[in-house]
Amino acid sequence: VVLTQTPLSSPVTLGQPASISCSSTHSLVHTDGSTYLSWLQQRPGQPPRLLLYKISNRFSGVPDRFSGSGAGTDFTLEISTVEAEDVGVYYCMQATYFPLSFGGGTRVEIK
Amino acid sequence: DVQLVESGGGLMQPGRSLRISCKASGFAFDEYAMHWVRQPPGKGLEWVAGIKWNSGSIGYADSVKGRFTISRDNAEKMLYFQMNSLRSDDTAIYYCVKDTGEEGAFDVWGQGTMVTVSS
């Protein structure tokens, strides 16, 4: 399963929204009915951090300005108002099929 | 605190072997699947191997299958990655990662250990 993220880079003004898309070559709906699509954030010099799981569920401690949507093969991560600490690379990941796979990443930077 | 600490990385010549390790603490290690994810310098993430809580199911990426072996010791709360026949394209930060279980996501990441393969 190949995950394609767009855009590759997203220059954003502080306080403005940002949106990242993740498109899969195969439907990510598992035979158990769940869709195992998650989003991770990697700040500069840090390991990745889980933001959202199963499309839209925020992980513990994740601010509510992060939200996820989508179904089947197309998914979106939205940041309602970008803050300076949101700078980094964002990855989608699928765990519906083996081998597990990540999108290529989208860099969020401040204009 | 929930923590994963990797060790054992270093500079290796092509064709040589290396074992990296990960020490878990702060959670019931024997209840969760664990994974290794790698990241070449300046590039994206690649899942390379995973192992179920009881070692009953193991999976590998095609890029490492037949060369690398994942294993675990639940009594010691350790995850291992034996890497044989190393190649230059194995150069990466190797992250030890905890699986959430039913949520199908990766919720705890170590700081990573750097493996460099070069002559």
The string of pLDDT tens digits covering residues B7-47 is: 999 999 999 999 999 999 999 999 999 999 999 999 999 99
Number of neighbours of residue A53 by Cβ within 10 angstroms? 25
Average pLDDT value for chain A: 97
Model confidence pLDDT, tens digit, residues A42-92: 999 999 999 999 999 999 999 999 999 999 999 999 999 999 999 999 999
Query: A8 CA to chain B: closest CA distance, Å?
Result: 12
Contact B86, B117 (CB under 8 A): yes
**Interface probe with B: pick from A49, A100, A106, A107, most Cβ of B within 10 Å:** A100
Residue B104 is nearest to which of A40, A47, A54, comparing CB atoms?
Answer: A54
Q: What is the rounded distance in angstroms from the CA atom of residue B48 to the CA atom of residue A71?
A: 26
Query: B110 CA to chain A: closest CA distance, Å?
Result: 7
Contact A56, A69 (CB under 8 A): yes
Cβ contact, residue pair A50, B112, below 8 Å: no
How many CA atoms does the CB half-sphere of B57 hold within 13 Å?
6
Q: What is the rounded distance in angstroms from the CA atom of residue A61 to the CA atom of residue A107?
A: 22
pLDDT for A32 equals: 95
What residues pair up with B109 in beta bridges, in sequence order? Answer: B97
- Considering only CB atoms, which chain B residues are within 8 Å of A102? 44-47
Cβ contact, residue pair A99, B60, below 8 Å: yes
pLDDT for A110 equals: 95
Could you tell me how far CA B31 lies from the centroid of its own chain?
A: 17
- Considering only CB atoms, which chain B residues are within 8 Å of A36? 103-105
Span A6-28, average pLDDT: 97
What is the residue whose two structure tokens read 């970008």?
A82
Model confidence pLDDT, tens digit, residues B53-93: 999 999 999 999 999 999 999 999 999 999 999 999 999 99
pLDDT for A12 equals: 96
Cβ contact, residue pair A48, B105, below 8 Å: no
**Residue B113: pLDDT band with limits 50, 70, 90:** very high
Cβ contact, residue pair A102, B107, below 8 Å: no
pLDDT for A28 equals: 98
